[in-house]
Amino acid sequence: MDQFGVLMTCPMFPYLEQELDRRFKLFRLWDFPSKSEFLGHHSGSVRAVVGDTKVGADSELIEALPRLEIVSSYSVGLDRIDLEKCKERGIRVTNTPDVLTEDVADAAIALILTLLRKVCVADAFVRSGKWMSGDFEVASKFSGKSVGIIGLGRIGSAIAKRAEAFNCLISYHSRSPKPHTTYRYYSSVVDLARNSQILVVSCSLTEETRHIINREVIDALGPKGVLINIGRGAHVDEPELVSALLEGRIGGAGLDVFEKEPEVAEELFELENVVLLPHVGSDTEETSKAMADLLIGNLEAYFLKKPLLTAVI
């Protein structure tokens, strides 16, 4: 299949790049001085685009590739792909669901425990030698707390299952109540926040969910509540969150994603009630390889005229 041109939009997992290079005619967009220079020489050679959470396939790129037939996302999220343009052009779209569910759910629980038990602060306390002068401050327990989850899909459900093991009371918000669950449903995110000690964002990013965490929701969560975001940065009105943290209107935050990644509000760096991760929720060796294999499997299936493994369009 080395006659099929595949464009990678940015560096990703090395194994994925190696396998794409081995199977297809691979173009690396970052190898060229500019996008326009690449398109000037190779726009007619690209049959597939591989993107991720950083750089996907926007309307401009899709329009510039006359022979584009399929876009494969190295993520479960699709917010970096212009889906309407793909539908208009008849371009197929795939992503990598399921294989990253467990890792992202693990990351959410890790953020909760790290934040509540002050793991990062305690680690710094020991490393700085302060333990020699006295005991560390007390922290807060996770077990038994009320956990509200925004988005009870694959990842949200996996987070709920883990939180249940800590005897937490689970409630959720989604577009409609989910069948076959005993968790309490809230039609309003504000009401969910008001009744949660821990609020977890795990929904897809759409225009409807952009800034779903706003000032009203943050104030409903309150000075003892904590926010965990393993969804997308744009789910949170970041300036409002920063203000709430600085003013003590919210108890803390554990964030794996940010609105303008990799830029992060510098005000967060000095706050001990904030845990920051560089969008690594699914970044384990095992899951990264499984995602790469699934993406490659979708491309191979398409070019061999077989059913796609995880078709979105």
Which of the residues are catalytic? 232, 261, 279
Q: Which residue has the tokens 């795939």?
A: 94
Mapped onto helix, strand or coil, the DSSP state of residue 81 is strand
From first CA to last CA, the distance across the chain in angstroms is 22
Q: Are 227 and 240 in contact (CB under 8 A)?
A: no
Question: DSSP 3-state assignment of 7?
Answer: strand
Amino acid at 58: D
The contacts of residue 247 (CB under 8 Å, 6+ apart) are none
Question: What string of DSSP letters covers 87-128?
Answer: HHHT-EEE---STTHHHHHHHHHHHHHHHHTTHHHHHHHHHT
